[in-house]
Chain A
Amino acid sequence: MLFSSLVFLYYFLPIVLLGNILLPNRFRNTFLLISSLFFFAWSGVSYTIIFLGSILLNFMGGILIARQPASSVKRKIIFSCIAILNLSLLCVFKYGTFIIENLNLLFAEFEITEMDAPKILLPIGISFYTFHGLSYITDVYRGTTEPQRKLTDLSLYISFFPQLIAGPIVRYKDVSDQLTNRFLSPTMFNKGMYRFIIGLGKKVLIANAMAQLADNFFNMPLSELEMTSAWIGIIAYTFQIYFDFSGYSDMAIGLAQCCGFQFKENFNFPYLAESIKDFWRRWHISLSSWFKDYVYIPLGGNKNGKFKTYRNLIIVFFLTGLWHGASWNFIIWGFFHGFFIVIETIGLGKLLEKLWKPLRIMYCFIIVVLGWVLFRANTFEDAMEYYKVMFGVTEGPSFSLDALSTFINNEQLTALLIAITGSFGAMKMFNDSDLQATKTISPTAQISLDMAKLAFSICLVIVCTLYMVAGTYNPFIYFRF
């Protein structure tokens, strides 16, 4: 079930929100758990068994680990087994086919009989719930958090529907208190709704329009693509992925807030970053901080000399790339970012600091945009061909403004302008805390502001609903057989 679907917005969500408000506190976790499992099952009933297995594994694992004395070998072994089982689940379902396909390529070189590559369907949210489980058992193993002894509470932490399909990756220790003790006020509920609606608008109105624009160019035969089109295509994708992902994060954070939970921010204007290092402090913050805490620091971080620091950075970015998908393009994309982080650490970072701020932002933006080509292209070869067109290293037309009039329509142009202004700071106006931290306003003004926000939000939902309903319209002029 997608957040940007009618069935979620006008069927699942109203029931869950009303139920959560009306039920006494002691029933809320169970109610939210049942709702979350229903939400998960909607995307694949059969996979619910694997999901429940994963929850049970981490629940039992947490208790077993906590029973062993700190720094005992047994504790280490149990932790390792649970971690390996979690990762095996991810490996089988997410990377199984990819691994076999690549092994087959290797076998072909040595004339070894190839294995059958099974077509495994990816269970929804597996990357997120596996990382939730891993962070929980790691924290229990480290002793930084107490194990959860109520199955419903741990299940709710792992399966809570707002963060189930697209994150953010929430740490157990960040919400463990909220699982047992939280307070839902009308102010919090309203803030959550505003946040959810802004996210919905980002996804439905901006990201989808940018997706259509990017698809125009990425679906075009590369021989017909020229430089301007290639740049417009990747710029559109740059905004598509940001508004899509940050829109989902906004919706998740907002929905959690409506249910009384506070999640940490996942994006902080990443296209305003002044270096790639800075970019990863602003983009998918929950993932980068997860890798920092559970991979980079355990590997030694930057404490063991330069070369080990570079090695650790490269490992982290290899894993970051791999986490995004089972494809060489993602792995290379990870290395690409890792490479820039390393050279910034070596000395480029110091040079960048001397530049004028807009130039630093431009440097980072261009690198990120170039990286997205690897992310969006179907194959590595396609990405290379796309780069050639972008830099005019082709025999075809190198520069033409035809693309502007032919492939960008007025709606996409409007969305693109909103995306540009939104990505570079204008969205800050929607940030409540900024507004209220700096200004104290009179109660009357506050009511007016609330009413204006309410009216804006409802208009935005109505427009999003129009788009969602229109997406179900599928006319036929001829009945085909």
Chain B
Amino acid sequence: MFSKKYISFIFLLFLWAPFLVKTLNLSKSFEKKESGENRALKQFPEMGVTDVDSFPSLYEAHFNDYFILRNTFIDLFHSMRVKCFRESPLPEKVIIGKDNWLYLADEMPTYNRTARFSDEELKKIGDEFERRRLFLEQQHCLLYIYIIPPKIAVYPEYSNKTTKRLNEPTQGGQLEAYFKANSKIPVYYFLPTLLEGKKEEREHSFVFNTTDNHWNNYGAYLCYQKIMGDLTKEFPAIRQLNAEALVEKDTLEDGGNIAGMINMQTYFKENVRRIKVKHPLAHESEKSNYEPPAGFAYPWEYERQFKGSNEQAPRVLFIRDSFTDRMMSYLAEGFSHSTYIFDAWQYASHEDIVKNEKPQVMVYVMFEPFIKNVLNKSN
């Protein structure tokens, strides 16, 4: 009988354990604080007479977010899914491919063409950029548009998902063709550049990171060459870096942002080739302190200013996202002054910034799955 009572006590103690550990603050030493969730946790909800029906679900969300050892449990679960089953812990967000290649599931619709622009949307985007081009013309500024394809479009072979894709152009291809047929604005899709680069891949260097959704330094460099090749036709004074001006270094690093999403950066390590400018002449200069959009998670990245050494070269304004990070140091070398605006993937017109910075060329470097944001009303 004693053993039965003892077992009952253990059961009860086990159910009470989270409460006791939290109340007695016993978890401090082994609770993992960091999380790859990238979101604000739910706060304790307000309780009023009108909120009685919504209170339980809001409280439950708060309870779940602050559950004892939550991050440790999540890490354990992710490790179990990956190591025991070779499965993604978040299949709706992260795809684990062959040879530890990671993909964002969000990028699949762009690749398999389930996300496409309608004719009406293409026209709306076309009209909007035409409006911007006319504005820029008045400011004596040229407009260029570049579209970055998602990783899955360049490396479908490492994905385990045998996704059927329609035999149609992707959104980037649609846009490129539309502008070619209907506009003077030069629009370039980076996919051919990256596929070409992929053919010539040097040892241990792909054009995308295996555990991150971004291109790596080599991919960024290839697309930098494409941009600069186009711009030097109009502005010969631009300084374009060649391979000799760069220095390469290989390092084994923790996994990138997709590995981070599942908190497994240390498991999904990656050999990263860093390519830097050997003798940088450009330097980061003072910001004009433009106001970032409300709620933007990376306000410090909203505005970056670089002063180049070549006074003959034009001033440039890049509307960019995180992909441009890896080419910014190369780009900065080519212009007398370069401004980079990371506007939370809105790719807006930023007319005030144009008037203030007085660039001679404005370049949009847009990530294909987010081009649709141009259609946002706020734009």
Contact = CB atoms under 8 A, between A and B. Distances in A.
Given A467-B77, A479-B38, A13 B15 contact: yes
Most buried by A among B11, B14, B213: B11
Interface stretch (B52-60, B145-153, B271-279): B52-60
B356 interface: no
B28 interface: no
Interface in A431-456: 446-447, 450-451, 454
A478 interface: yes
Interface stretch (B118-126, B223-231, B289-297): B289-297
Contacts of B353: none
A14 B80 contact: no
Nearest to B10: A454
Nearest to B378: A481
A474 B85 contact: no
Interface of A is mostly: helix
B67 A477 contact: no
Contacts of A474: 37, 39
B9 to A, nearest CB: 9
Interface stretch (B86-94, B191-199, B247-255, B310-318): B86-94
Interface string B1-36: 101110110111011101100000000000000011
A219 B15 CA distance: 37
Contacts of A43: 56
Nearest 10 CB-CB pairings of A with B:
A186-B4, A479-B297, A472-B64, A470-B77, A14-B15, A469-B73, A410-B85, A466-B77, A45-B52, A411-B85
B331 interface: no
A470 B15 contact: no
Most buried by A among B64, B78, B106: B64
Interface string A2-28: 000111011101100110010000000
B87 A409 contact: yes
A72 interface: no
A210 to B, nearest CB: 15
Interface in A308-355: none
B375 to A, nearest CB: 13
Interface residues of A, number: 54
Contact of A447 (B3, B63, B106): B3
Given A454-B10, A466-B77, A45 B53 contact: yes
A14 B3 contact: no
A479 B73 contact: no
A349 to B, nearest CB: 44
A476 B38 contact: yes
Nearest to A453: B7
B76 interface: yes
A253 to B, nearest CB: 16
B87 A469 contact: no
A447 B89 CA distance: 38
A473 B37 contact: yes
Contacts of B345: 478
A240 B55 CA distance: 31
Given A46-B53, A461-B14, A473-B90, A466 B80 contact: yes
A140 B5 CA distance: 39
A11 B18 CA distance: 9
A57 B61 CA distance: 35
A447 B1 CA distance: 10
A190 interface: yes
B154 interface: no
Contact of B8 (A189, A446, A465): A189
Given A17-B15, A190-B8, A454-B10, 4 more contacts: A411-B87, A450-B7, A469-B73, A477-B257
A186 B1 CA distance: 8
Contacts of A477: 38, 93, 104, 106, 213, 257-258, 261
Interface string A126-169: 00000000000000000000000000000000000000000000
A185 B55 CA distance: 37
B63 A6 contact: yes
A6 B60 CA distance: 8
18 contacts: A6-B64, A7-B63, A9-B15, A11-B63, A42-B56, A44-B53, A451-B3, A458-B10, A461-B14, A466-B73, A466-B76, A469-B73, A469-B77, A472-B64, A473-B90, A475-B36, A477-B261, A481-B346
Interface in A399-423: 402, 405-406, 409-411, 414
B134 to A, nearest CB: 27
A63 interface: no
A477 B56 CA distance: 28
B169 to A, nearest CB: 21
Nearest to A454: B7
B258 A406 contact: no
Interface in B65-104: 65, 67, 70, 73-74, 76-78, 80-81, 85-87, 89-91, 93, 104
Contacts of B332: none
Interface in B161-207: 161-162, 164
Most buried by B among A17, A190, A467, A478: A478
B276 to A, nearest CB: 26
Contacts of B106: 477
B49 to A, nearest CB: 10
Most buried by A among B7, B87, B161, B257: B7
B16 to A, nearest CB: 5
Nearest to B296: A479
A395 interface: no
A250 to B, nearest CB: 16
Contacts of B10: 454, 458
B344 interface: yes
Given A9-B15, A475-B36, A469 B1 contact: no
A465 B85 contact: no
